[in-house]
Amino acid sequence: MPPTFAALVTDRTRRLGTRLCVGLDPRLRLYRDPAHLREHTLDVLEATAPYAACVKPQLAFFEALGLPGFALLEEVCAAARTLGLPILLDGKRGDIGSTAEAYAQGWLAGGHAGDALTVNPFLGFGTLTPFVETARANGGAVFVLVKTSNSDQADLQGGGLSERVAAEVARLGAEEPGGEYASVGAVVGATHPGDLAAFRAAMPRALLLLPGLGAQGAAAADLAPAFHPGGTGALASASRAVQYADGLSVTASREAAQQLRNDLNAALS
């Protein structure tokens, strides 16, 4: 059986010394035309791959391009696999019944599927089942929204709700035999550094995805509590701070990814 998403990213963390998740958010308004967007996105992917534990295409920006966007997404995924990069699709999908099953098949097992997918649990924990089952069947992973990086998340995620979701993530992880990390991970914003230790303890077998580095103001120096001893167990995500570090300079993107990797390593030293 091939290695799981969790095993692949943990191996890259140990082997390459990186905990960085490089986000790709291709914004059409910044380019001359779709061909220019395609070229730049693929160039950034290749330039930053040596410093990344995984890559995170944001589905919204590909969907906004229509059918050419889906074609580009498949091209990005193929290039990432050639580069040895696990693929975490950021779609925050969530629905009920057969619709959830269709989302799971499309994004975790279909022709342009990733290796992992962000999912939204706020329609009820039962809605996670198709995503978790499909991820497990394909060696993938799901990252459940627990405490997101945006400032107004407390409108719905406060009052102990995030902690309830974290307990469900931990329960799902405990169902799985063996393996260092389970197929069910959690999204916990890097913009909440004071909460990281508690969520790390609450979900011992979950990989944590920490969005918010750079443009949202989170700092690598504050993220150590999200990691296990040895620096595994979490992926810190940066998108605009890498892809558009200095306009459309691919050199700047590579240097930004390298610096973020180094900053994360320094925080854990």
Q: Which residues are catalytic?
A: 92
DSSP-based three-state secondary structure for 146: strand
250-268 vs 34-48: helix crossing angle, rounded to 10: 40
Place of tokens 């999204």: 187
Complete edge-to-edge strand list for the sheet that includes strand 88-93: 54-57, 20-24, 234-238, 208-211, 184-188, 141-147, 116-119, 88-93
Angle at 71 between CA 70 and CA 74, to 5 degrees: 85
Burial annotation 97-109 (CB, 10 A radius, 16+ → b, else e) = eeebbebbebbbe
CA dist., res. 161 & res. 145, Å (int): 11
* Assigned token pair, 24: 């790709």
Contacts of 196 (CB under 8 A, 6+ apart): 188, 208, 210, 222, 223, 225, 226
DSSP-based three-state secondary structure for 229: coil
Strand partners, 145: 187
CA dist., res. 64 & res. 98, Å (int): 25
Please check whether residue 147 is in contact with residue 192, taking contact to mean a CB–CB distance below 8 angstroms: yes
